[in-house]
Structure 1
Amino acid sequence: MDATPSYIDDFARFIYESPSSYHAVAEAARRLDLAGFTRLAERDAWPEQPGRHYIVRDGALIAWVQPVGAGPTTPFRILGAHTDSPGFKLKPKPTIGSHGWLQAGVEVYGGPLLNSWLDRELELAGRLVTHDGTEHLVRTGPFLRIPQLAVHLDREVNNGLTLDRQRHLTPVFGVGDVTQADLIGHLAGLAGLDGSDIAGYDLLTADTAPPATFGLGGELFAAGRMDNLTSVHAGLLALILAGDAAFPGEGDGDGDGDGVGGEASAAPAISVLAAFDHEEIGSASRSGAAGPLLDDVLTRIGAGLGATVTDRLRAYAESWCLSADAGHAVHPNYPERHDPANLPVLGGGPLLKINANQRYATDATGAALFARTCARAGVTYQEFVSNNTVPCGSTIGPLTATRLGIRTVDVGVPLLSMHSARELCHVNDPAALSAAVAVFFTPER
């Protein structure tokens, strides 16, 4: 798990395969399948024996490693992240336009840095749902563009750009007669369907520029959706390592499809990757961190181990959650926006995020845990706290701590240009986070 080019190359492939939360979950599921994990359906009974399993709920995924020797009071080690990113979501009746242009009706999703989405080739990606409820993933490749008004037509644009969310952010995708164009029919065709088959859709924009390393020594990495695919990818690789450690052998070595193979050894915790959807819009959904998803899964795992209500609370009392989301590195052009004494830099390792008002869930015991974890992993970390005059955002960390009472620590990879169509990190920091998470999943005995 060291910071080699292979890690950032794999991360770039993961980003490319994940233009939407639904695609990110599909790519994570593909990798878990290859690693010997078994997909479970929420409507089915779940196996009670040890193993490596995962479930998918819409654009969210929860995966876990239940080792041999786990019992009713075995604690959980949870890595919480989110699969969604800011952008634009396709509205109903999406084919619009004027003055000979074909345009897509979109709604702002989350809090994107709006100007960063101008004059980029964008794609639509997400899921189409047919009348029988079947879901089909689709992506267009380069298809849309939000054109900016030329400087010749707005001589004051460089003195301040103001974008009206309804009038100025409607992307173009062609020219012609709006009454003859059928955007949904085109998308359905890409999925091998007819437009009349489509009863619903969840489709968002994504930047199509490929991830790239650049700068002196190739130490900088730029890509879209790093908030928060950095954490999803880091947690996914760490969980696969935890599964390999709990069940030595190549994949599902015993061939019975249950994800258990070879000799197995007990571990002091059940490792969990919780990749939620909808964090960028408040997490209040059935697949978001404010919903019941994580509680549902942990309750069912405990039930399979014979846990009573008291046993479950005892397990939670010894459990930990790392809420892993992107954080802010100091911006060299705007240093006054940061706390003057806490100035994390790219390449300095993952962030420990702290806020006096518990917008981040870190406290002193959590800080000590993360310090021990990073020391064991051999990585450095940095503290982040907001400037008192700049309001602090929040994460899924306080939600998890509030809903479940599990001790939670907020961490993440430092970025520049967060919520831009294209964000920036150091090539070493994502790998350092994954190394720390791998150690977190294997607590000291």
Structure 2
Amino acid sequence: MEHAQFNHGLLNFLDSSPTPWHAVATIKARLDEAGFAELDEKDEWSLEKGQGYYVIRNGSSIVAFRTGKGEVVESGIRMVGAHTDSPCLKVKPNPELRRKGFFQVGVEVYGGVLLNPWFDRDLSLAGRVTVLDDAGTVKDVLVNFSKPVAFIPSLAIHLDREANSNRSINAQTDLPPVMMQVPDSDTTTFASLLERQIATEAGIGVRKVLGYELSFYDARGASFVGLRDEFIASARLDNLLSCYIGLQALLDTSADEPTLLVCNDHEEVGSVSAEGAQGPFLSALLDRWCGTEKSRVIARSMMISADNAHGIHPNYMDRHDENHGPLINQGPVIKVNHNQRYATNSRSAGVYRHISDELGLPYQTFVVRSDMGCGSTIGPLTAGNLGVTTLDIGVPQLGMHSIREMTGTEDGYTLYRVMQAFMQRPQIF
């Protein structure tokens, strides 16, 4: 895949994936097109050599893999991991708020959201809705309003003179978005709005909305930014960019070696769920693929945990260690933390550096300042659960956990090229 094609495909992937459920649906469509077969965890499996398969759990996590043409116990598995979720505002179960003719909805903060940028944005709404349809069947439906339907207006500076120097945000009272104006006699429910949207979008008659998992998102699509188009700005770059890189690498490799991509939900809230990285999803799949030889397979395998890194901010350069401030468009970032917030060790980092050197591609290293706390990824969780050698790496970005983030146009493609070479490598260790 060429550089321009890669980046245009990335923008399309970001725009079609406003929620983890939509991201998995987008990944599934790409895998189906490439000839991968879907497996159901409830069924018996009969895996064939040289074939591609995928498994979806909860609609928001997916594992896709190629079995390889040889014996998996002899070659190990080249694994890549990322996550499908991003910090956002999710709609509460009983959300209706009517104030002075405004119809608003209550929201819950999901993950470590940078809240200030959510104000004064055109917001849309998407997610999964569980309904009882006209046939009396309980089913899940994906919903995406796909246009601006809400707005969180800031309080004018005339009414808050300290807004620029001393403003705090109350997540309960300051964040409910405005969706429309209604008369005092209005009895509209949020569920009824969903029923109409489902009828319009999916053509399904709904007897009752039984539940939903919906989040607001920036209605503006992903775009190139900069006088030379050297940046990409979008919502959910953390971490759909890594999902896209891993998917593209998997699709563009041969079927010779065993390869695997796992995209987990719930990383932003700790990964403790049935489909999260701290849950049994990946381990259970490997049990069924590798059987009693699983421990031998793991000993020959390696995981690349891909999650975006903190690029150095030109206005806040003192927030980085002076020797470990990654620059945008200067290469992917190997993330190191000896307290195991990242799973990188000298061996896994060495493999990545060696492949990059062979390809003549750049890389950087990030270590958090010694007087600051360090974030984490699915890397240590996956390494701890499986016992697999793991590398934590990511594309440098700015505005992490904001409603709109920024990366460079070079780094994602560089990581894709190294990842593709990693997946096709006849021997890892």
Tell me the amino acid that sits aligned with residue 26 of structure 1.
A
Counterparts of 1:36 and 1:48, CA distance in 2? 14
Q: How does 1:9-158 map to 2 (within 5 A)?
A: 9-50=8-49, 51-58=51-58, 59-131=60-132, 132-141=137-146, 142-158=148-164
SS of aligned partner of 1:213: strand
Q: Does 1:240 align with 2:268?
A: no
Q: Within the alignment, does 1:171 sit opposite 2:208 as a pair?
A: no
Aligned equivalent of 1:221, options 232, 236, 242:
232
Displacement of 1:375: 2.2
CA distance in 2, matches of 1:198, 1:137: 13
Alignment-derived partner of residue 257 in structure 1: none
* Residue of structure 2 in register with 1:421 after alignment: 403
Q: Secondary structure at the match of 2:70?
A: coil
Task: Give 1:378's match in structure 2, choosing from 348, 360, 368.
Answer: 360
The correspondence for 1:189, drawn from 169, 189, 196, is 196
Matched-pair contact (CA < 8 Å) for 1:326–1:412: yes
Task: Give the secondary-structure state (helix, strand or coil) at the position aligned to 2:99.
Answer: coil
Structure 1 length-normalised TM: 0.91
Gaps of at least 5 residues in structure 2 are none
Distance 2:76 2:242 in 1: 22
CA distance in 2, matches of 1:378, 1:40: 38
Contact 1:185–1:194 (8 Å) recurs in 2? no
Using the alignment, how far apart are the partners of 1:188 and 1:67 within structure 2? 45
One-letter amino acid of the counterpart of residue 382, structure 1: Q
Aligned equivalents of 1:316 and 1:403: distance in 2?
11
Deviations 1:360-396 (A, max 9, x none): 0001111101101222343211101111122100000
TM-score normalised to structure 2 length: 0.94
Within 1, Cα distance between the matches of 2:299 and 2:348?
14
Letter of the 1:19 counterpart: P
* Paired residue secondary structure (1:36): coil
Per the TM alignment, residue 444 of structure 1 is displaced from its structure 2 partner at its CA by 4.2
Count of residues paired in the alignment: 415
Residue identity matched to 1:32: L
Q: Give the residue type in structure 2 aligned to 1:21.
A: P
> 1:97 deviation in Å?
2.6
Q: CA offset at residue 86 of structure 1? A: 0.3
Matched, 1:8 2:7: yes
Local SS of the residue matching 1:173 = strand
How far apart are 1:332 and its partner, in Å? Answer: 0.5
**Are the equivalent residues in 1 in contact too, given 2:131–2:206 (CA < 8 A)?**
no
Aligned-partner Cα distance in 1 for 2:283–2:248: 23
SS at match of 1:197: strand
Deviations 1:386-421 (A, max 9, x none): 111221000000001111100111001100000000
Deviation digits for residues 154-211 of structure 1, max 9, x if unmatched? 1110112210010101111011147522222222222224564211111111111111
357, 365, 370: which one aligns with 1:388: 370
Measured after TM superposition, the shift of residue 35 of structure 1 is 0.8
Q: Give the Å deviation of 1:48.
A: 2.3
Name whichever of 96-105 and 68-77 sits farther off: 68-77
Provide, for residues 334-367 of structure 1, a one-character-per-residue CA deviation record: whole Å limited to 9, x for no partner. Answer: 0111111111100011110001211000011111
Q: Partner of 1:342 in structure 2?
A: 324
Question: For residue 406 of structure 1, what is the amino acid of its counterpart?
Answer: V
Q: Percent identity?
A: 39
Preserved CA contact (<8 Å) 2:277 2:381: yes
> In structure 2, the residue corresponding to 1:105 is in which secondary structure?
strand
Q: Map residues 348-367 of structure 1 onto 2, 5 A cutoff.
A: 348-367=330-349
